[in-house]
Amino acid sequence: MISRNQQLFERAQKHIPGGVNSPVRAFRSVGGTPRFFVAGSGAHVTDADGRRYVDYVGSWGPLILGHAHPAVIAAVQEATLKGLSFGAPTESEVDMADLLCELLPSLEMVRLVSSGTEATMSAIRLARGYTGRDLLIKFEGCYHGHSDSLLVKAGSGLLTLGNPSSAGVPADLAQHTMVLDYNDSAGLAAAFAEHAAQIAAVIVEPVAGNMNLVTPRLQFLQALRELCTRHGAVLIFDEVMTGFRVGPRGAQGLYGITPDLTTLGKVIGGGMPVGAFGGRAEIMGKIAPLGPVYQAGTLSGNPVAVAAGLATLRQLRAAGFYEELAQRTRQLTDGLQAAAHRNGVPFSAQAVGGMFGLYFRSECPQSYAEVMSCDLQAFNRFFHGMLDAGHYFAPAAFEAGFVSAAHAEADIAATVAAAEAVFKAW
């Protein structure tokens, strides 16, 4: 008997490329049939076959409060009744801008968009327009959305200019992006020594979450700040994932490094399409209609999406919110690590605030190369064992995972118990 998920997946592939609207959802790296979700509540989701799962993806980060939080749903319903969109300024956008600039001191001005990709694409164009330079530096393993300048892989040598990592990206555009190694301060210094006058911006995930989770060395973040300051390059912290996820002031608050521009997404939309880029007024003043750098969007600052984001951000201000979230996330990573070690499975895990990494290697990786040494088959075996037991992790080894405020101790304990059984049968 073919399952409802399989029926839907077969039907979906008729008119949607790969049957999905974003590639990672297709289960291609883990194998099997993607789960079509029909409902979410708190820490749980239910799929088309009526199977219920503890959810550790949380829509890839936005659902820090869990699914269908009453305050968020109420705010969206109230906004919806007043109309869906105006294409004109609304008070809620001003409230959102004021709140973001209050929460992140590095934001003097901010522009709302509809996705993280739009935020990073716009921030890069702004940095190039502000500096009059073309060269962008990014780091291997970091993902910043799918705009052309970011779909670039490392050149033949460390300091050579980039090559397209996707079809459709012109080589003569990709050569304006240089790809360096994450956490490699020496490589960064060498790039500045050779190209300083051409570098418009450096964009970095201050805690990397797209090569699984890799934490930054403080010295690396300090070198980024110091070199960008010295050479007049714009330091862009891509906090689409880490913003209000790893702490109340994002990664910039956690590590005490002030970027020139910050990009945001995910949590600030609470599950609805909201992105943002912002930073020093001197730089933001170059954005249209004030300055020569063009950027626009039909649904930018959409009042229904902003209502979801505002309701979410306001909940995060509750006393002890982040302490509780970090404790619950550590309960998961510590529990999984102990279960694996009790059963002799090479495994490590770590948490930063409400996001975590799981690695089928004995030590937590500190670089892209070390992430690549993880046992992918072991991850896939773990993924499916946990999925069958009702615990939904990211369907790809190179993704971070997320815990929400709705995950109770009992949910985490059930996940750890399920992992114990998976590791015992290893």
How many CB atoms neighbour CB 228 within 10 A? Answer: 22
d(CA 250, CA 21): 28
Nearest by Cα to 417 from 305, 322, 336, 312? 336
CB 249 within 8 A of CB 94: no
* Stretch of 124-132, 170-178, 205-213, 215-223 contacting ligand KE4, by CB under 6 A: 205-213
Catalytic annotation, pick one of 56, 143, 255, 359 = 143
Site for ligand KE4 contains 60 (CB under 6 A): yes
Is the backbone peptide bond immediately before 289 cis, with ω within 30 degrees of 0? yes
- Choose the stretch contacting ligand KE4; rule: CB under 6 A; options: 83-91, 114-122, 287-295, 306-314: 114-122
| Residue 24 engages ligand KE4 in binding (rule: CB under 6 A) | yes
Catalytic site includes residue 260 = no
Q: How far is the CB of 395 from ligand KE4 (least distance, A)?
A: 10
Q: Which residue has the closest beta carbon to ligand KE4?
A: 116
Closer by beta carbon to ligand KE4, 106 or else 331 = 106
**What is d(CA 237, CA 240) in angstroms, rounded to the nearest whole number?**
9
Residue from 143, 359, 383, 392 binding ligand KE4 (CB under 6 A): 143
Q: Is 140 in the site for ligand KE4 (CB under 6 A)?
A: no
Q: Is 333 in the site for ligand KE4 (CB under 6 A)?
A: no
Q: Is 163 helix (H, G, I), strand (E, B) or coil?
A: strand
Residue 378 C-beta: closest distance to ligand KE4, Å: 21
255 as an active site residue: the answer is no
- If one asks whether residue 115 binds ligand KE4 (CB under 6 A), the answer comes out as yes
Stretch that binds ligand KE4, among 2-10, 80-88, 112-120, 227-235 (CB under 6 A): 112-120
In the complex, what is the shortest distance from the CB of residue 353 to ligand KE4, in angstroms, rounded to a whole number?
14
DSSP state at residue 272: B
**b/e sequence 102-112, b meaning 16+ C-beta within 10 Å:** ebbebbebbbb
Positive or negative: CA dihedral 6, 10, 39, 354: positive
Nearer to ligand KE4, 59 or 198 (CB): 59
Find the radius of gyration of the CA atoms of the chain. Answer: 21
Give least dist CB 136 to ligand KE4, A. 14
For this structure, is 375 an active site residue? no
Dihedral angle sign, alpha carbons of residues 389, 392, 393, 396: positive
**Dihedral pair phi/psi, residue 112, rounded to 5°:** -90, 140
Q: Does 357 bind ligand KE4 (CB under 6 A)?
A: no
> What is the smallest separation between the CB atom of 115 and ligand KE4, expressed in angstroms?
4
Among 184, 238, 260, 411, binds ligand KE4 (CB under 6 A): 238
| DSSP for residue 216 | P
Phi-psi region of 170 (alpha: psi -120 to 50; beta: other; left: phi over 0): beta
Distance CA 130, CA 86 (A): 30
- CB-wise, 116 or 335, nearer to ligand KE4? 116
Stretch that binds ligand KE4, among 9-17, 98-106, 238-246, 286-294 (CB under 6 A): 238-246
3-class state of residue 351 by DSSP: strand
According to DSSP H, which parts of 343-404 are helical? 368-371, 376-388
Q: Enumerate residues 6+ apart whose C-beta is below 8 A from 62.
A: 265, 266, 267, 269, 270, 271, 312
Among 106, 177, 183, 210, binds ligand KE4 (CB under 6 A): 210
Least Å distance, CB 159 to ligand KE4, is 24
- According to CB under 6 A, which one of 103, 110, 112, 241 is a site residue for ligand KE4? 241
Q: Which residues are catalytic?
A: 143, 238, 266
Applying CB under 6 A, the residues found at the interface with ligand KE4 are: 22, 24, 60, 115-117, 120, 143-145, 205, 209-210, 238, 240-241, 265, 399
